[in-house]
Structure formats: structure tokens, C-alpha cells
Amino acid sequence: MAKRIAIVEDDPDQRANYRDAITKKGYEVVAYGSRREALERMDGNLPDLVILDIILGDEVDAGFQLCRELLFKSPSLPVIFLTERINEIDKISGLRLGAWDYLPKPISLDYLAERISSLLRINEVRAENAERGSSTARKIGYLTLDQDALLVSWKGERIDLSGTEFRMLAKLVRVPGHAVSYETLMNATMQSLVTNNTINTHMRNIRKKFERLDANFACIKSEYGFGYRWLPP
């Protein structure tokens, strides 16, 4: 069965272009022009991945609000922001909400299709490995990392990290106790225009996800002006 992709974009021409390009890649695509329409139509029938613009009609932060509402219903749902709002504050806001990717407009439709395919593959492998376990998992104390599925667990409980968050965490724990520089962590994001503040935001997100399971979690330490360090408990 074809994976179902939802696009929320208020510009009808862009919405049609995205829908046509993604449909040609073999996906089932549904497209909405407003936050309200998307919520009503997706209620009880969430897609496999969602692409959101931030400004929808008169609502300047509608995409952020919709992301929050969708992830409340399904925390593991892959969300991509696709927007002209590319300043650092907006990008940080999107990442804090739990988006898997934050892409700028204009964008190559082929590249967009490839990002969708990549995130869906990751999510599929996560689901499969969560059911049957994985022989490629690495254990560091209470932490388990599955490199194939980009899957993380802490004390046996799964933690849903985005692909970027997983790559940063994997880089951080490669040598426990060893300080990892901002530059190294930036390279791990595989994104352009990454700043120290962006890295700090990712790290705060990662910490919060661990702290939801373990209020005493304190393994990620900031090295002021340099980067971060993983200190096993």
C-alpha cells in the first residue's frame, strides 16, 4: 500500500506542484489549504508524513500550531516544515516542536521527494526493529542506539528522536566522557546554515525527551564555548 503524505500549503499553485511531484513518486497525497481544514480532515486518520508551511492564510504561525497538535496525537509522526521563513528563530522554533526537517523555499521537487523517501525509510525501520529487536544495537550503560533504525532507548524505553537528533547523539556518545565540539556536531546534522544556537536547541530537545522518561537524567553536559560531553551515570 502506498504511503500517505499530507501537504498543508495555502498557495494553490505551490500546493498543486508539490502534490503532483510527490504523487509521481508513487505516494498517495492529500493536500489542504488551511490549518483548520487539515485538522478536520486528518482527525482520526493521520498520514504517514506531513509537510507544513508556517504561514497559512491569515495565521502567521499556523504551521507551528498544527505541528504541535499533530505530534500531541502521534509523537512519532514525521513532520517537515517547508517555508520561506528561514531565519534562525523560526528554525529553532520548528525544531523545538519536534519537526524532523526544516526546508527552505524554493526547493527542488526532486530533493523534496528524496527527503520524504529518506524519512519514511527511517520510520519503517524503526517500527520493524521496535517489534523484533535489532542485532546492530549498541549499548552504552542505560542507553541503546540502533544505527540502522536511528532508534534510541533509555532503560529499555523507546525515545523518538528525529534523524538529526539521533546523528548528534550518536556522535556525542561515540567516546563517552570525551568533549565533542560544536563543529563536529554541526557536521552530524547534515544541514546547512547551522549555528551554535541551533546545536543548543537540538541538545535541549534531546535532553527533554530523556527527562520525560527519567527525571534524574543528567548525562548531557555543556562545555561552555566548545560543545557537549556525554557522561554516563
Tens-place pLDDT, residues 166-186: 889 999 999 999 999 999 999
109-134 residue pLDDT tens: 999 998 999 888 877 876 766 566 55
Question: Is 135 a residue whose pLDDT tops 60?
Answer: no
**pLDDT score at 133:** 56
Residue 12 CB contacts under 8 Å (≥ 6 apart), including other chains:
33
139-154 residue pLDDT tens: 899 999 887 777 889 9
Type of residue at 78: P
Which residues are paired to 140 by β-bridges? 143
Question: Is 75 a residue whose pLDDT tops 60?
Answer: yes
Phi, psi for residue 12 in degrees, rounded to 5: -65, -35
Confidence of residue 136 (pLDDT cuts 50, 70, 90): low
Rounded CA separation 67/54 (Å):
9
**pLDDT score at 43:** 83
**pLDDT score at 129:** 62
CB distance 211 to 217 below 8 Å: yes
Percentage above 70 pLDDT, the chain: 95
Question: Is 164 a residue whose pLDDT tops 90?
Answer: no
Rounded CA separation 122/140 (Å):
22
Q: How, if at all, do strands 79-83 and 4-8 pair?
A: unpaired
**pLDDT score at 137:** 78
Residue 189 CB contacts under 8 Å (≥ 6 apart), including other chains:
164, 167, 168, 198, 199, 202
* Domains observed in the chain: 4-121 (3.40.50.2300), 133-230 (1.10.10.10)
Whole-number CA gyration radius for the chain: 18
**pLDDT score at 173:** 94
**pLDDT score at 134:** 52
**pLDDT score at 70:** 93
Rounded CA separation 108/17 (Å):
11
77-116 residue pLDDT tens: 999 999 999 888 888 888 878 888 889 999 999 999 989 9
Element (H, E) at 220: strand 220-223
Residues in the chain: 233
- The C-alpha cell at 33 is 489549504
Average pLDDT, the chain: 89
The average pLDDT across 189-211 equals 87
- The C-alpha cell at 79 is 513532520
